[in-house]
Structure formats: C-alpha cells, structure tokens
C-alpha cells in the first residue's frame, strides 16, 4: 500500500487511523488553505445527549479560509481548553481507560501550542504511540491538486490522497467509517465516525485491534 496523504485533523476519527493500516508512511498536508467546519479544528464525541462536536476556535476566523492550515493560530482568548476538558470528563470520566490517558492528554493541552497544526500534530504523535502505529510522518512542502484516481505521483513516490475524505457531515457514511464496532458509553446502537478518543477511552491498549 502506498503512503497516505491527509490534512491535519483535531482528535481525528478512528477511520483516519484505519486508513493508515498497511501504509508505508503518513504525509500531512501543510500547503492547503484552511476550511471551516471540517476535522481540521473539530472532533465528534459521544455524550449522554448524543454526538457532540468539540471545536477549537481560531484567530481571524472570517479570513481563515485564505490562510494556510499550518499557519492558523488558536484563539486562547476563549476558554476552550477548559470547556473541552470538562466535556471530556463528563462524557468519558466513567469509562474504563479515561484515567489511563487523561494525564498525557492534559499535558498536551497545557502546552497551549500557538498553532492549530502544532496541536493536531502533538496529539497525532500521542495517538500513534497509543495505537502502536510506527509508520513515519512527513510534511508536504508543495501543494498538489487532487487527482481523479486519488493517487498522487508528484511527490517522491505515490501517495493515496485522503485529504477531506473524512468530514463531520459524512461521519456516518459506511465507506468512511472502517473498523469494527465496540462497546460505547451511551445508547444501544453503535455510533460510527467518532474521534479516536472514544475508542481509546473504551478499549485502551486493545484499541488498535478495532481499527481493521
């Protein structure tokens, strides 16, 4: 399987990691323009009230779509870190593995990294360790337009283009939510398309076995 190209995502859905199984490497797009209402700055979690989006506020949101995703700054004037953390504690505090991962996650948030790309990348490296994914992560240095067959050949080798393949609006589409169901905190029916946090908090070190 060739390397996979994704945009930077905030607490990506489990399907993001399923798409990397068997890949040679992960490439992160650094030259794309920021788009609102995508996984670049939001994730979906499961609460007692149903699926909820957690969104990282960015500075100059009105002009953000003209800025590279890698240059987007996080707006810490809003107390979003506290809100996200309290929501995660409420939704997952009683799960089997919340305490197992909580300190590591809290340390990442406490750094108050200035750019969204930096935060997403720090979280991504953490999830790679949790899931025992050992493929290298590379950053793009030029932008290449999507190809009709989703296979890009303009880099050093072929890349499977998965940029904007996963979106919050398409979270429940079967072809976007690979992996097998697992027990969740709320409801009787399995809810697909959630952040990797949902799987980790429920399955812990066994989470990787649910990606295939």
Helices (H), the chain: 14-18, 80-92, 98-110, 116-131, 196-203
Cβ atoms of 122 and 108 within 8 Å: the answer is yes
- Return the structure tokens found at 136: 């290298």
- Return the structure tokens found at 39: 């996984």
Q: For the chain, what are the domain ranges?
A: 3-210
pTM score, two decimals? 0.93
pLDDT tens per residue across all 212 residues of the chain: 789 999 999 999 999 999 999 999 999 999 999 988 999 999 999 999 999 999 999 997 666 668 899 999 999 999 999 999 999 999 999 999 999 999 999 999 999 999 999 999 999 999 999 999 999 999 999 998 898 878 887 665 689 999 999 999 876 565 555 678 999 999 999 999 999 999 999 999 999 999 98
């Amino acid at each position: 399987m060739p390397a996979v190209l994704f945009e930077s995502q905030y607490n990506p859905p489990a399907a993001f990691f399923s798409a990397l199984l068997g890949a040679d490497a992960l490439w992160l797009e650094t030259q794309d323009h920021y788009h609102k209402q995508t996984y670049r700055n939001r994730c979906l979690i499961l609460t007692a009230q149903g699926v909820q989006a957690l969104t990282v506020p960015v500075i100059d949101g009105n002009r953000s779509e003209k800025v590279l995703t890698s240059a987007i700054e996080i707006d810490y004037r809003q107390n979003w870190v506290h809100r996200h953390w309290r929501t995660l504690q409420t939704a997952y505090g009683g799960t089997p593995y919340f305490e197992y991962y909580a300190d590591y996650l809290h340390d990442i948030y406490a750094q108050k990294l200035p750019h969204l790309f930096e935060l997403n990348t720090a979280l991504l490296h953490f999830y790679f360790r949790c899931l025992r994914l050992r493929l290298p992560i590379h950053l793009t240095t030029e932008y290449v337009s999507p190809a009709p067959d989703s296979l890009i050949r303009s880099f050093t080798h072929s890349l499977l283009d998965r940029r904007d393949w996963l979106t919050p609006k398409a979270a429940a589409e079967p072809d976007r939510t690979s992996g097998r169901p697992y027990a969740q905190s709320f409801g009787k029916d399995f809810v697909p398309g959630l952040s990797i946090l949902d799987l980790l908090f429920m399955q812990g070190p066994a989470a990787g076995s649910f990606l295939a």
